[in-house]
Amino acid sequence: MIHLITGIHGFAGSHLADLLVKKGEQVCGLAHSLDNDQNIAHLGNKIKVYQADICDRLQVEQVLDSVRPTAIYHLAGMSYVPATVDSAMFDSHFRGTLNLLESAKELKLKAKTLWVGSSEEYGLIKQGNGLVDECHPLSPLSLYGVSKSSAEMLANSYHERGDLEVIRVRPFNHIGPRQKSRFVVSSFARQIVEIEAGKEPILKVGNLNSERDFTDVRDTVRAYLSVMNVGQSGDVFNVCSGKTKKISSLLGNLIEQAQVEIKVESEEEHFRPNIPVSLAGDFTKLQAATGWRPEISLEASLGDTLTYWREKLS
Ligand code: GDD
């Protein structure tokens, strides 16, 4: 098997590369630039990375033709939900998907593709509805969610027309080492480590009452591999823990692991309007198909994220 990961330099992409290399697989990556490779530098020449802009059809096609992958994991995209909205997000998610799948079709690749979406595609879940399963209508609130769900329809149309084998996943929040510090857990962990290093002991937070479903990124990418092994084209799977966690409890756990006293202050700029208060997923379908379940506890994941920032900032 030849595996191609788009977005290999990113958070999930780099952990997926680690897992595949550990299994002795042949791994190639597509990255927007060959710089910023700190997440995969430790893999050295065990992987081969190609430079291409996912929004450039010709560049994408050239990489696919050089690699001729048998498995494609499409992780390239913009992952920060409240990012300023301009056409870049829609370009990278929609046009990126189009470029990748259209190129794979034109090149007649015999590759299975994993298209990676987001729980943000579900949008507002009415309180009391319980866990969201894959049959829940997609009704995104954020433009990020809209860009992902429109790209998901596009991806699935390649399956519907019989052009390519495409499996879709909708991961909920995933956390762990290497995540950028604008995401909630990494933001808190990084601030704690900076305070431990002598910065003013004030940790700035947004809405601590919102609840999300958190999975360690290493479990998330293990789910991606399981799905590629046994999933059928046209399938769609949630990847999640099935539990809600209040942001305040994550913060409490991280502060307990801190080596200094910390004061918490909320900051208006971190509050987001029009977002679901609570969002958690049902992974029954994924478990039934693959046997997958999360293995890394939330506490371990938070601890590893703190360790990551302690090492990175030391
Ligand atoms: N970033 C951030 N910073 N979020 C905060 C903060 C803060 O200081 N305080 C509270 N929050 C709350 C946010 O309001 C949100 O409800 C929750 O923490 C999680 O925020 P993020 O970590 O930024 O993640 P996200 O839910 O917006 O998006 C992540 O998960 C999606 C899947 O559900 C990203 O990984 C997306 O790429 C992914 O699709």
Taken as a whole, the chain contains a residue count of 314
Q: Which residues line ligand 1 (CB under 6 A)?
A: 79, 81, 118-120, 171-173, 182-184, 187, 205-207, 210, 212, 247, 270, 272, 275
Question: Quick one: 167 and 194 in the same domain?
Answer: no
| The pLDDT of residue 128 | 60
How is the chain split among helix, strand and coil, in percent rounded to 5?
40, 20, 40
Question: What tens digit of pLDDT does each residue of 106-158 get?
Answer: 999 999 999 999 999 999 876 566 799 999 999 998 899 999 999 999 999 99
Q: What range defines the domain where residue 170 resides?
A: 2-175+215-243+283-290
* Phi, psi at 212, each rounded to 5°: -135, 170
Q: What sign does the CA torsion over 119, 125, 129, 134 have?
A: negative
CATH for 31: 3.40.50.720
Distance between CA atoms of residues 228 and 22, nearest Å: 17
* Rounded mean pLDDT, 100-111: 98
Question: What tens digit of pLDDT does each residue of 42-54 get?
Answer: 999 999 999 999 9
Question: Quick one: 98 and 31 in the same domain?
Answer: yes
Question: Quick one: 145 and 204 in the same domain?
Answer: no
Q: What mean pLDDT value characterizes the chain?
A: 95
Closest CA to 125 of 1, 11, 277: 277
Closest ligand 1 atom number to CA of residue 81: 27
Question: Quick one: 149 and 92 in the same domain?
Answer: yes
Q: What sign does the CA torsion over 196, 306, 5, 283 have?
A: negative
Listed in sequence order, the DSSP H helices in 231-297 are 247-256, 284-290
Question: Quick one: 134 and 204 in the same domain?
Answer: no
Question: Quick one: 22 and 57 in the same domain?
Answer: yes
CB neighbour list of residue 26: distance below 8 Å, 6 or more residues apart? 1, 2, 3
| The pLDDT of residue 82 | 83
Q: How far, in Å, is the centroid of ligand 1 from the Cα of 184?
A: 5
Question: What tens digit of pLDDT does each residue of 242-285 get?
Answer: 999 999 999 999 999 999 999 999 998 888 776 767 889 999 99
Question: Quick one: 136 and 201 in the same domain?
Answer: no
Mutation test of ligand 1: which of 173, 208, 271, 279 has the most ligand atoms closer than 8 Å to its C-beta?
173
| The pLDDT of residue 130 | 79
Mutation test of ligand 1: which of 194, 212, 238, 279 has the most ligand atoms closer than 8 Å to its C-beta?
212
Question: Quick one: 220 and 74 in the same domain?
Answer: yes
Question: Quick one: 68 and 192 in the same domain?
Answer: no
pLDDT band at 309 (very low <50, low <70, confident <90, very high): very high
Distance between CA atoms of residues 226 and 228, nearest Å: 5
* Rounded mean pLDDT, 168-174: 98
Question: Quick one: 196 and 157 in the same domain?
Answer: no
| 168: amino acid identity, one letter | R
Question: Quick one: 233 and 248 in the same domain?
Answer: no
* Rounded mean pLDDT, 288-313: 98
CATH for 193: 3.90.25.10
Question: Quick one: 87 and 225 in the same domain?
Answer: yes
Q: How far, in Å, is the centroid of ligand 1 from the Cα of 118?
A: 12
Closest CA to 218 of 3, 82, 22: 22
- How many structural domains compose the chain? 2
